[in-house]
Amino acid sequence: MTPHVIIVGGGFGGLSAARHLRGADVRVTLIDKRNYHLFRPMLYQVATGLLSADEISGPLRSILSHQRNVDVLLDEVTGISPNQRRVHLKHRDLAYDFLILATGIQYNYFGHDDWRGFAPGLESLDDADVIRTKVLLAFEWAEALAAAHQGQIEEIRRLLTFALVGAGTVGVEMASTLAEMSHMALARDFRHIDPRTARILLYEAAPRVLPTYPEELSRKAQRHLESLGVEVLTNARVTNVDADGIVVGGQKIPAGTVLWGAGVVASPAALWVGAETDKFGKVMVDPDLSVRDHPEIFVIGDTAHVVAPARNLFGIKSPEPMLLPGVAQPAIQEGKYVAEIIRRRVAGRERPKPFWYWDKGDLAIVGRTYAVADLRFIRFAGLAAWFVWASVHIYFLIGFANRLFVLLQWGFDFLTKRRRVRVLTEESPASENVIDPAA
């Protein structure tokens, strides 16, 4: 019978593997608990109203509709029996010949999962909707309080305080965008409050923002954040989160909106297959990205701890292997590599050489026309880095239509300094967490 390949996860890694199995003599089943592929690097723009959800996502069935050997299954994996080669889903089991785990990561609340309800992370389109609603409602309720002349100055100040926990890429992106949103997009929309008085607080437990970037780029990013009005606090560990705000260094910080981006932990894939993990729960894989003692199981993307040889943009080999970061490019390349291994094994051909990574550098946006870029052989910041960031992200969007819409929307935002996606539905998902001014 035709070998059956099961791919768990429709993110960058899983989708890359599925696409590169096109035309192979295998049956592919792609399983995901969501029916869409999400371009997560732009998710913060949905959370702040710049882009709509359909501009950074696409239905998996539609993306793979022309690939005859792929089935897409909307379901959730509950476990795996490696010895029996079976994947357990909520309502049935599936047998496999090859298994690719690309299940991604989730935010780590360090044993305080009860904080999740007060400080959502940015993982999915639903999270983006929740965050956008919380942000917009904070301004609306502050306006209502001020219009009612109830004299609740402290409560208005709390509502207009936004605390972001974690100054990695997502935290920096969100902080800079919220600052620009309050100073530009919303500046003239209210009559009783001044959105420009909103406080954007960015907390980082490490000594600097963007701790995985070179120190010089971290300094430049922090200076630009501060020029936007963001209050950056480093060496500041959050010890509690509740409905009223956060606690940092024993001090209570009242905040109407708290957003979480302080750390990530891998999915339970390692538990499913009984594999060795690193301290973040990522699976330790062999040089061909397979699980030790299970050459038919591959782990890629954020789920895998991969140390591999690397080459820079010009193909120059790095002197030492590198630990691959949890970003899109490693996942895409790993998916392609694993697909090639499976194609060769099915065809009885020689296996490819061990995986190596084409390192295209790291990019982080810090505002509407400012970014930092570490291309390994050169580091720079400012408008030039922003153009590189924009070009790379536009290129990797799914489909020409998405690229065109995003490009047009960015141009509109650049000229008008406004946000288009700001409509609140009657049943707003975050409204229960905001105090009613009439109460």
Q: What's the sign of the alpha-carbon dihedral 348, 353, 355, 356?
A: negative
φ, ψ for residue 379, nearest 5 deg: -130, 135
Among candidate residues 231, 211, 253, 11, the one with its CA nearest the CA of residue 119: 253
* CA distance to 57, 204, 406, per residue, from 409 (Å): 15, 31, 5
Number of H helices, E strands in the chain: 11, 29
Among candidate residues 395, 403, 373, the one with its CA nearest the CA of residue 385: 373
The answer to whether 91 and 85 are in contact (CB under 8 A) is no
Buried b (16+ CB within 10 A) or exposed e, 340-358: bbbbebbeeeeeeeebbbe
Q: How far is 203 from 239, CA to CA, in rounded Å? A: 12
Q: How far is 332 from 372, CA to CA, in rounded Å? A: 22
Among candidate residues 278, 320, 322, 328, the one with its CA nearest the CA of residue 300: 328
Query: Which residues are catalytic, by number?
Result: 173
The amino acid that residue 90 corresponds to is K
φ, ψ for residue 119, nearest 5 deg: -135, 80
The answer to whether 333 and 357 are in contact (CB under 8 A) is yes
The answer to whether 261 and 171 are in contact (CB under 8 A) is yes
Q: How far is 133 from 416, CA to CA, in rounded Å? A: 22
Helices 328-347 and 12-20 sit at what angle, rounded to 10 degrees? 30
